[in-house]
């Protein structure tokens, strides 16, 4: 057959996995909005204000991600129930959460007065770290359920 791809068994999409899938799209949109604000001309008098607002939105969305994944009824609890062999990978993602929140907070602290080029470099580092975290999370879900969480 042309135009088809091999199918992979899909996990039942309910509960924590379904919530994580929906939130994954929202989080990516928030990350992209933050990235667009960074790329705006820094000469714009509202640049810092806009970046700060988008960073605040990112922190809120990432906080929700942490609740949805780490909570007692969250995705990681479900994964460990389904595939306890993945405990080390879950622990690594949980450590990422603390590191990423610290990076967001550090950037927010420097944003009002920091040098724009340095701020953009720090923000770019944060965006790369978020991307890696999202990739590791998708890999974890795939390994646990043999399903793709979605690349949106």
Using one digit for the tens of pLDDT, what is the confidence trace for 133-142? 999 999 999 9
Distance CA 78, CA 91 (A): 14
Q: Please choose, from the candidates 62, 64, 100, 83, the residue with its C-alpha nearest in 3D space to the C-alpha of residue 139.
A: 83
Residue 10: pLDDT above 70?
Answer: no
Q: How would residue 146 be classed by pLDDT, with cut points 50, 70 and 90? A: confident
**Average pLDDT score over the chain:** 90
CB 20 within 8 A of CB 69: yes
CB 95 within 8 A of CB 142: no
pLDDT at 112: 95
pLDDT at 54: 98
pLDDT at 148: 53
The distance of Cα 99 from the centroid of its chain, to the nearest Å, equals 12
Residue ranges and CATH numbers for the domains of the chain are: 15-145 (1.20.120)
């Amino acid at each position: 057959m042309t135009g088809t791809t091999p199918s992979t068994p899909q996990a039942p999409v309910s509960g924590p996995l379904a919530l994580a899938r929906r939130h994954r799209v929202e989080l990516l949109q928030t990350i992209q909005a933050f990235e667009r604000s960074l790329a705006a001309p820094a000469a714009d008098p509202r640049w810092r204000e806009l970046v700060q607002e988008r960073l605040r939105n990112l922190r809120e969305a990432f906080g929700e991600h942490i609740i949805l994944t780490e909570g007692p009824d969250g995705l990681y609890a479900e994964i460990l129930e389904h595939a306890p062999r993945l405990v080390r990978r879950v622990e690594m993602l949980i450590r990422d959460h603390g590191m990423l929140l610290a990076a967001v907070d550090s950037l927010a602290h420097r944003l009002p007065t920091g040098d724009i080029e340095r701020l953009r470099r720090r923000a770019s580092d944060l965006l790369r770290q978020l991307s890696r975290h999202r990739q590791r999370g998708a890999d974890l879900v795939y390994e646990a359920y043999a399903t793709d969480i979605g690349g949106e």
